[in-house]
């Protein structure tokens, strides 16, 4: 099969298209076998009577063989997508529970989520390897978010100049105005002899509390991960005292582990019911100065306990001067799925309701703290 376009269609459609598009050969045959190993599991194919019929080689593939093949045959972005589908769509658990497999996989967020869902199935040796995967992904996430947090808390720019030259503080307006005499109309270029930069005033920070209440039900896993990383990045900032509380029907204070998000995530217990009101009442006991406290509730707001009790607890926090955030998602996509009726009642009680990325939450906290 020499036509790349036909080859791609053949890989998409699988064996049922072999009669019209022909059989793949060479590396394309290997790609077809790897795709059939994964997507041939789809029960929808049986229902529609279009099951892919891979060759005998595909059925003999082990998970280790499959991982080696996709790394060799596909670009990195495709490999990550295939791994994500394997663990999240088809629940191929041995990708994160088999030591031989764990030693081969490239850490990525999908595998992190799979580890947290299946860590209770792991023996100590597998758990040790899985922890290395968690550490790698969390380290990358923390480094990225820490940059955003530092930027949010670094202070507002003043209009006076400074001799400290940083790209983020470049004063384009004054630089252009001061160097207009060196503009070349023929070349349409401005020769800059003297660049100018703005000073950045350090905010005078008064003590604030940030209390993150995180719903650890299974559907909230991405938000649990990002809440742990966010808390770690806020931890130790001047003027910010951070708490992290996980809850289902019970409440677990994880503040002592906030500085180590890997340890914190390995302690989470996903699943179970949801009693948001109980978590909010626990947070209320931690409040030291109500008007300098932000309580962020990260949940889908499907309350398993008393919704009336939840609304009452939120209203009490708001009435005493605390800022209450109801976040239906705290992750990179900030794509919420939540009980809108409950969220509306909390908004009516004075809570701010919505969804945020971790960086946006850091900006919100920085704005409050810097006032």
> pLDDT tens, 313-326?
999 999 999 999 99
Q: C-alpha 171: how far from its chain's center?
A: 34
pLDDT(134) > 80 = yes
What confidence score (pLDDT) does residue 58 get? 41
* Pairing of β 189-190 and β 183-184: antiparallel
- Output the CA–CA distances (angstroms, integers) from residue 40 to 34, 43, 51, 114, in the order listed: 10, 8, 7, 21
Cα torsion through 19, 25, 29, 32, rounded to 10: -40
Torsion of CA 163, 167, 168, 174, to 10 degrees: 60
Q: How far apart are CA 366 and CA 181, in angstroms?
A: 40
pLDDT band at 90 (very low <50, low <70, confident <90, very high): confident
pLDDT in tens, 164-204: 566 767 788 888 888 888 888 888 888 888 888 776 554 45
Q: Which residues of 302-323 are buried (b: 16+ CB within 10 A; e: fewer)?
A: bbeeebebbbebbbbbbeeebb
Place of tokens 């019911």: 273
At 49 the pLDDT is 56
* 328 close to 296: Cβ distance less than 8 angstroms: no
Strand segments, DSSP code E, in the chain are 157-161, 183-184, 189-190, 198-200, 208-215, 240-247, 251-253, 293-298, 323-330, 352-356
Smallest CA-to-CA distance from 287 within 323, 252, 258 is with 323
Q: How confident is the model at residue 46 (pLDDT cuts 50, 70, 90)?
A: low
Task: Determine the Cα–Cα distance for residues 362 and 13; give it in Å rounded to an integer.
Answer: 45
Cα(340)–Cα(322) distance, integer angstroms: 23
Question: Of 2, 3, 8, which Cα lies nearest the Cα of 74?
Answer: 8
Q: What is the pLDDT of residues 256-289, one digit of tens each?
A: 988 888 988 888 877 778 899 999 999 999 999 9
């Amino acid at each position: 099969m020499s036509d790349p376009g036909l080859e791609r269609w053949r890989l998409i459609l699988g064996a049922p298209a072999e009669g019209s598009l022909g059989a793949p050969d060479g590396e394309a045959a290997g790609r077809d076998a790897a795709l059939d190993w994964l997507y041939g599991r789809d029960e929808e194919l049986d229902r529609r009577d279009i099951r892919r019929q891979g060759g005998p080689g595909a059925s003999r593939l082990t998970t280790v063989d499959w991982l080696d093949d996709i790394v060799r045959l596909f670009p990195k972005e495709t490999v990550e997508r295939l791994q994500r589908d394997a663990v999240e769509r088809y629940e191929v658990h041995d990708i994160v529970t088999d030591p031989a497999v764990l030693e081969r996989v490239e850490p990525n967020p999908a595998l992190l989520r799979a580890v947290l869902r299946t860590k209770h199935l792991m023996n100590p040796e597998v758990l040790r390897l899985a922890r290395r995967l968690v550490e790698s992904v969390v380290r990358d996430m923390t480094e990225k978010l820490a940059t955003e947090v530092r930027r949010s808390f670094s202070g507002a720019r003043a209009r006076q100049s400074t001799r400290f030259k940083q790209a983020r503080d470049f004063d384009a307006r004054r630089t252009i105005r001061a160097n207009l005499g060196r503009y070349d109309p023929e070349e349409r270029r401005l020769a800059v002899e003297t660049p100018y930069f703005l000073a950045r005033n350090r905010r005078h920070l008064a003590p604030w509390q940030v209390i993150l209440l995180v719903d650890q039900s299974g559907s909230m896993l991405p938000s649990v991960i990002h809440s742990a990383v966010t808390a770690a990045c806020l931890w130790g900032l001047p003027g910010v005292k951070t708490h992290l509380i996980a809850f289902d029907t019970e409440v677990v204070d994880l503040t002592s582990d906030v500085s180590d998000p890997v340890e914190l995530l390995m302690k989470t217990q996903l699943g179970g019911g949801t009693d948001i009101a109980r978590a909010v009442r626990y947070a209320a006991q931690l409040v030291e100065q109500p008007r300098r406290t932000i309580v962020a509730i990260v949940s889908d707001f499907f309350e398993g306990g008393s919704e009336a009790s939840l609304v009452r607890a939120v209203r009490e926090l708001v009435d005493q001067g605390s800022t209450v955030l109801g976040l239906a998602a705290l992750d990179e996509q900030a794509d919420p799925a939540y009980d809108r009726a409950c969220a509306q009642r909390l908004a009516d009680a004075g809570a701010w309701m919505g969804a945020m990325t971790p960086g946006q939450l850091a900006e919100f906290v920085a704005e409050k703290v810097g006032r």
